[in-house]
Structure 1
């Protein structure tokens, strides 16, 4: 019998078999998302991310060139709208391909380096994160630590400012971890300016949900994420530098250790339509639409909507028979903290309300609380009624003593009273 196999065919098969045998990891078999995600979409009512409007979701499905005239026009409009939301005339508005923490790290790593004196006002998880970032770039970091659910005394701050003579002061406007609002932010900035310090403000959960006026309050850097008050997707953030802060960035002589977060390199894309790295174009388009919706609503109406809905939610929670975690004097409206009875744990509540009622709320870094967000698209009446009902039913299911009809009634009463003012 004649062997018709060509030598080249045999060699090809041998090489393919050898290559397959050489693969160190076998090809996996995984489940499609349709079998992982719940059949009914979850209502995202935690501390972020939040539900996104249809216009934002549609924009996030589009891919365009990250350079060129179309993207340059999009970026120009993003910066214009962002200046309105930040309430600044500064030219130095940049986007960040990363979460709000990446914007935070851009602020810290561009303004601080080995030997820089930094004072961090710490009253929760995220304000401590800024201090840690400053330590990692070699700054000399002093912390002014507050007891849980307390805000800094201005006299205490003034003493710390005089003692440490910081070049940079960091503070969180709304501490989402324990729902504390640093409501005297404008005064904090004023005290910091007595020694010429630049002030960096984390406004991740407060920008567009509560008043914050960058220029009028004298803030030097404001950072925010896309996934909270702006109701955009996670992973694309915004940062704004004052002229004074940008001058420090430009004049630094110590190279920035973060290449991707180097503000001078980022300027080439965000201000010169040039290349830095491949931008997350879909996320930038989503951010454009999110900002456009904020501008269409206007900040004044948006602030009023957030306050009305948050206060109504707080009324409903208290009428259920549950306690709000943070004292009213420093209570954050954007994220509402709820103290739990000893009989239930945050994990129990979060798991049950998600599985049984398709509502997502959040625990918080070891604290005996759950948190409900009131940011952007979360602040809609129908979301509030569904959330209060689901929370009340969950507490009942877990054996806690709550008054569900009273909670829903108080929510309705608060919303109706606010609507008739």
Structure 2
């Protein structure tokens, strides 16, 4: 007779130390990176703060592109460490314009580091990463890319783009756990990090994590949570079985079908496809309607819609098609629920046409 108190999550074995290096290599493969891969035993915001803390020092000059709260926080963390930071802030909820970045770079006497978020889950936008990185690369600037919300949903080739530090979390498009994250760190970035006054003996110290690489990439420091690493392994198994290109295409299809459905409803997307994330589609709420009321109406149908976050305008509603939600069923449910919510609020919405548009996109 089975023990009613038994739970398979109790008494998990330790994650085998010899498999951490393989995990790092697999992440490097997804990122197409030959740089050092660090594993961080925490959610990706910790890896982001560790990057800022480890880079920041008096005399360091940073151009920080802000298109969400994460970009704002990154600048604050850099300033706290003594760096000189110039924020260039996009219009609320919109991607940065490449001309604004070029002007800021031309106006600065010296920039050591440029930081940018690739895709924003807060507003469903995509920054022009290849163009931004080309400008930085032509000036010899070390680049930091927050790719937490883009990896697996958009192409990200660290080597081809010349990204010096890329920070990822597996909990979004990769469909993995939220309690672990990773970084790709180039030789040029290590030259800025491994200085005499670098932070040490801290969870926010990339210099400390470098010791794991230098000592043969065996056991991680501290007491790692085995469940997170077993879950990460499983997520990487799924990604590799399908192929990263297939995963990206699945998200692109979900985004395209969502936009088609919204257009058929008579609800335009927030930004055009070239400026939109494949993971979240934001839609402006019609004048006179409240996002919260529409979200509540959708929730009664069992569908979760959310408001725009951070500096996104407060009249945006987000339809999430990230990771396990990048499917026909989830996209159709999102669009239909939004249409029903509009109707219940007294706004016209052609739900049949929207359903047909989503189906037609997936049938091509």
- What TM-score, normalized to structure 2? 0.89
Q: Which moved more, 1:159-168 or 1:406-415?
A: 159-168
Q: Which residue of 2 aligns with 1:48?
A: none
Q: What CA distance in whole angstroms lies between the structure 2 residues aligned with 1:209 and 1:60?
A: 30
Retained in 2: the 8 A contact 1:343–1:400? no
Deviation at 1:257, TM superposition (A): 6.9
Deviation at 1:121, TM superposition (A): 1.3
CA offsets, 1:106-156, max 9 Å, x none?
221112223311111123333222222222222111012222354444444
User: Which structure 1 residue ranges, 5 or more long, are not aligned?
Assistant: 1-57
Q: What CA distance in whole angstroms lies between the structure 2 residues aligned with 1:59 and 1:109?
A: 38
Pairing 1:172–2:117 present: yes
Pairing 1:277–2:222 present: yes
**For the pair shown, which has the larger CA radius of gyration, 1 or 2?**
1
Q: What CA distance in whole angstroms lies between the structure 2 residues aligned with 1:254 and 1:59?
A: 45
Give the superposed CA RMSD. 2.2
Pairing 1:404–2:351 present: yes
The answer to which structure, 1 or 2, has the higher relative contact order (CA under 8 A, 6+ apart) is 1
- In structure 2, relative to structure 1, the CA distance for the partners of 1:61 and 1:317 (3 Å cut) is farther
- In structure 2, relative to structure 1, the CA distance for the partners of 1:219 and 1:82 (3 Å cut) is same
Deviation at 1:64, TM superposition (A): 2.4
Retained in 1: the 8 A contact 2:199–2:205? yes
Retained in 2: the 8 A contact 1:59–1:286? no
Q: Which moved more, 1:213-222 or 1:388-397?
A: 388-397
Q: Which residue of 1 aligns with 2:102?
A: 158
Q: Tell me, what secondary structure is at the counterpart of 2:163?
A: coil
Deviation at 1:60, TM superposition (A): 7.4
Q: Which moved more, 1:97-106 or 1:310-319?
A: 97-106
Pairing 1:111–2:55 present: yes
Q: Which residue of 2 aligns with 1:72?
A: 18
Deviation at 1:170, TM superposition (A): 0.4
Q: Which residue of 1 aligns with 2:74?
A: 130
Q: Tell me, what secondary structure is at the counterpart of 1:255?
A: coil
- In structure 2, relative to structure 1, the CA distance for the partners of 1:275 and 1:87 (3 Å cut) is closer
Deviation at 1:393, TM superposition (A): 1.9
Q: What CA distance in whole angstroms lies between the structure 2 residues aligned with 1:121 and 1:59?
A: 45
Q: What CA distance in whole angstroms lies between the structure 2 residues aligned with 1:233 and 1:60?
A: 15
- In structure 2, relative to structure 1, the CA distance for the partners of 1:403 and 1:63 (3 Å cut) is same
Q: What CA distance in whole angstroms lies between the structure 1 residues aligned with 2:171 and 2:11?
A: 18
Residue 288 of structure 2, aligned match among 343, 362, 376: 343
Q: Tell me, what secondary structure is at the counterpart of 2:37?
A: strand
Deviation at 1:361, TM superposition (A): 2.1
Q: Which residue of 2 aligns with 1:301?
A: 246
Q: What CA distance in whole angstroms lies between the structure 2 residues aligned with 1:364 and 1:336?
A: 10
Q: What CA distance in whole angstroms lies between the structure 2 residues aligned with 1:261 and 1:278?
A: 16
Q: Which residue of 2 aligns with 1:96?
A: 40
- In structure 2, relative to structure 1, the CA distance for the partners of 1:62 and 1:303 (3 Å cut) is farther
Pairing 1:235–2:188 present: no
Deviation at 1:330, TM superposition (A): 1.4
Pairing 1:253–2:196 present: yes
Residue 86 of structure 2, aligned match among 124, 137, 142: 142
Retained in 1: the 8 A contact 2:282–2:317? yes
- What TM-score, normalized to structure 1? 0.78
User: Which structure 2 residue ranges, 5 or more long, are not aligned?
Assistant: 1-6
- In structure 2, relative to structure 1, the CA distance for the partners of 1:60 and 1:139 (3 Å cut) is farther
Deviation at 1:234, TM superposition (A): 1.8
Pairing 1:326–2:275 present: no
Retained in 1: the 8 A contact 2:147–2:166? yes
- In structure 2, relative to structure 1, the CA distance for the partners of 1:261 and 1:59 (3 Å cut) is farther
Alignment of 1:341-380 (within 5 A): 341-354=286-299, 356-365=300-309, 367-380=314-327
Between Structure 1 and Structure 2, how many residues are aligned?
Answer: 352
Q: What CA distance in whole angstroms lies between the structure 2 residues aligned with 1:375 and 1:78?
A: 23
Q: Tell me, what secondary structure is at the counterpart of 1:359?
A: coil
Q: Which residue of 2 aligns with 1:12?
A: none
